[in-house]
Amino acid sequence: VVAHWKLGGVLDSIPSSHNDPIFGVLHAYMDKIFEMWYRIQKPTIEAYPESGAAMGHNRYAYQVPLFPVQRHNNSFTSSLQLGYDYDDMDADGHTADWEEIYTDRTGYC
C-alpha cells in the first residue's frame, strides 16, 4: 500500500490504482522479490505465526480485500507451483547480480 501512496497519481487511490500502467510492473516486481525471498529462505508454513500476530495477519486469517478470499497460509506457494518461472533466477533464488545487490545493501555477503 505504501508503494501506491509514494508513487502517487492514480496509484494513490487503491480502488482505481489498477488503471495506472505502472500497476502491473509494480506488482510483477513485488512478486519477483517475494519469489526470491521464498527460494532463498525456503520457509515452511510453520514460519507464519498461527496466533499472536497483528489482527488479520495470523496464518489462517483471511487476506483482505482479496477476492476470492484466501488465507495467508495459501500464500506460501512458489511461482513454480503456480506454473511460471523467472528466466534469470536459479532454484535458490539468486539472479546474476544478486550478490552485488545484496552486498551493497547489507555490507556483507
Q: What is the chain's pLDDT, residue by residue, as a tens digit (109 residues)?
A: 667 667 777 777 777 888 888 888 888 888 998 899 889 888 888 888 999 988 888 899 988 766 778 888 887 888 999 899 999 899 888 887 766 666 655 555 4
Beta bridge partners of 71: 62
- Whole-prediction pTM: 0.69
Q: How far apart are CA 101 and CA 109, in angstroms?
A: 10
Q: What is the pLDDT of residue 108?
A: 52
Q: Which three cell numbers stand for residue 40?
A: 532463498
Inter-residue contact 10 to 21 (CB < 8 Å): no
